[in-house]
Amino acid sequence: MAHEHHGAVIVGAGFAGLYLLHRLRGLGIPAICLEAADDVGGTWYWNRYPGARCDVESMQYSFSFSEELQQEWHWSERFAAQPEILAYARHVAERYDLRRDIRFETRVTDAAWDDAARVWNIATNRGEKLAARYFFMATGCLSAARLPDIPGIADFKGRQFHTGYWPHHKVDFTGRRVAVIGTGSSAIQSIPVIAEQAAQLTVFQRTPNFSIPSRNRPMDDEYEQGWKRDYASLRQKARMMRTGILYGLSDTPAMSVSAEERKAEYEKRWAVGGTAFMGSFRDLLLDQAANDTAADFVRSKIRETVKDPATAERLCPRNHPIGTKRICVDTQYYETYNRPNVTLIDLHEAPITRITTSGIEAGGVAHEFDDIVFATGFDAMTGALLGVDIKGRAGESLNAKWEAGPRTLVGIMTAGFPNMFMITGPGSPSVLSNMIVSIEQHVDWIMDCLAHMQAKGQVTIEADRGAEDSWVEEVNTVANRTLYPRAASWYMGANVPGKPRLFMPYVGGVGNYRVLCDEVAADGYRGFHFGGVERPAAAAE
């Protein structure tokens, strides 16, 4: 079959793919976007589990590239729920007429660089063959959901769900005996909602997590108008923050104030709700003693909230510093364990041995269920990238190149794979940030780079291996200055058996990273090689 030719192929129609498509049109590069789902939205298309919601405030978890768009959209709650975020993604697709260039229900399976033609050849599960000069992996950091390797999983005769592949119809748990496996963010959001419906809910916990109440509420009109009046400058400030989120980050080290002052600060932030709790003191992720004070505070809140002392102790995290696994944000999570229909099973006391036709065997006890909900997470950051068989220059496979862990230059490109760009790839702040801020920053940077190439008549760009080695080292050095590597987290690949363990995101901060990327560009795209002059440079000037 002959290849269809396009200027660019984008894989994924989440927020990254949508914004890329819009910007590529602006540059006059004809692009096609290929998406496995039957609609736009990415994360917010797939994760429809009960209670799914954002933990970045709605006024900030939204695109900033268009003043009209940010003025006209109204968020109904402080933290938007999944249906509203999906509606927003659809609105963006329609407002910018993006759907005409998106091919749904199409999974990209293979991509190979043809060095002679200087194009990517791309194949899909529908047998299509496409060729494009530029290839964008906008496949998401948390889009490859994982079922655990528990024996017997296929034998269960009841209903099984994964939070990351939730059905599109309403799932009713009324009167049912439900198991939830996992206690990460997805579980912590869904457990309180499922518990309200189910006859009986049993939670299987391997590692307890720290969770902060969201204090979610309907959008306050004055608050919304405050943001809208000043959106441009507030967005600019957010872009320079450590996490890309505008909230109070203290400059004070935790141990420089008295225990009473620390407690007062934690109480204040606990009452406000949300991830800003981690901004209470500037060194919470740098200094173990400082971190212990915040962790102790949250453990004291768990003990205050959960009436059964044994359950409270099981829910208290002890094996990682607070914040080194993604902090959770909840609505009535700990309170849910006071319900008579909810039971917590600690897998360290009673490990799961197998799943049977009618339930789960743990610690020698057979528990019977009608439904099992797997809230067991994702092959994060690299899962979707390596889910495509990508071959670069001289047939080098990305899977082989990344066998010992991902290697990138600033998380955007990887050496040996010319003209292939990753949005929020490993080695960039990505999952440690408000991801829409990071998506916009990557797409804007790449578009500037492509405009630069157009002006010079260049057709290829590739990361230098030496520059990439230095960046990988920098990512590790910065991570090792923090407490993050002390947790067996998905940031480290620790949740996937056999996955190399190294800290994947760049922890140096969204604002610092933006400055660094801008310096690279200002320095003639330091560390990148350009090639293949298409027309005389003089003609392009």
Work out whether 427 is an interface residue with ligand NAP (CB under 6 A).
Answer: no
Tell me the pairing of strands 365-368 and 359-362. Answer: antiparallel
Asked if 190 is part of the footprint of ligand NAP (rule: CB under 6 A), the reply reads no
Token representation of residue 125: 């599960």
Burial (CB count <10 Å: 0-12, 13-18, 19+), residue 230: exposed
Q: Which is nearer to ligand NAP, 182 or 359 (CB)?
A: 182
Decide: is 148 part of the binding site for ligand NAP (CB under 6 A): yes
434 binds ligand NAP (CB under 6 A): no
Of the candidate residues 216, 324, 382, 495, the single one contacting ligand NAP (CB under 6 A)? 495
Please, what is the end-to-end C-alpha distance for the chain in angstroms? 39
Q: Which is nearer to ligand FAD, 43 or 291 (CB)?
A: 43
Decide whether 142 or 241 has the Cβ nearer to ligand FAD. Answer: 142
- Which entry of ligand NAP, ligand FAD, none binds 20, CB below 5 to 8 A by partner kind? none
Of 82, 121, 143, 189, which lies in the binding site for ligand NAP, with binding defined by CB under 6 A? 189
Q: Which does 102 bind (CB under 5 to 8 A by kind): ligand NAP, ligand FAD, none?
A: none
Candidate list 16, 33, 36, 54; residue touching ligand NAP; CB under 6 A:
54
Phi, psi dihedral angles at 154 (to 5 degrees):
-80, -10
Q: Which does 183 bind (CB under 5 to 8 A by kind): ligand FAD, ligand NAP, none?
A: ligand NAP
List 11, 31, 33, 55, residue binding ligand NAP (CB under 6 A): 55
The helix/strand/coil state of 140 is coil
Per rule CB under 6 A, is residue 186 in the interface with ligand NAP?
Answer: yes
Nearer to ligand FAD, 274 or 359 (CB): 274
Query: At residue 110, what are phi and psi to the nearest 5 degrees?
Result: -140, 150
* Residue 513 DSSP symbol: H
Q: Near ligand NAP by CB under 6 A, which window of 67-75, 129-137, 176-184, 385-393? A: 176-184
Indicate whether 143 belongs to the interface with ligand NAP (CB under 6 A): no
* Nearest by Cα to 425 from 440, 406, 404: 406
What are the distances in angstroms from CA 89 to CA 69, 178, 185, 208, 468? 12, 32, 22, 33, 34
Which residue number, 372 or 447, has a Cβ lying nearer to ligand NAP?
372
- Cα–Cα distance list, 204 to 254, 261, 526 (Å): 34, 37, 49
Which of 235, 187, 196, 220 lies closest to 66, judged by CA? 235
Question: Which residue's structure tokens are 């490990």?
Answer: 351
| Interacting residues with ligand FAD (CB under 6 A) | 11-17, 34-37, 42-43, 45, 47, 52, 54-56, 61, 107-108, 138-143, 186, 384, 387-388, 423-424, 434-435, 439
What tokens appear for 428 in the block? 């960039």
CA angle 510, 420, 520 (to 5 degrees): 45
CA distances from 69 to 23, 87, 174, 454 (A): 15, 13, 40, 29
Measured from the CB atom, is 121 or 143 closer to ligand NAP? 143
**Closest to ligand NAP by CB, 306 or 432:** 432
Contact residues toward ligand NAP (CB under 6 A) are 54-55, 142, 148, 150, 163, 181-187, 189, 204, 206-207, 326, 329, 347, 375-378, 431, 490, 495
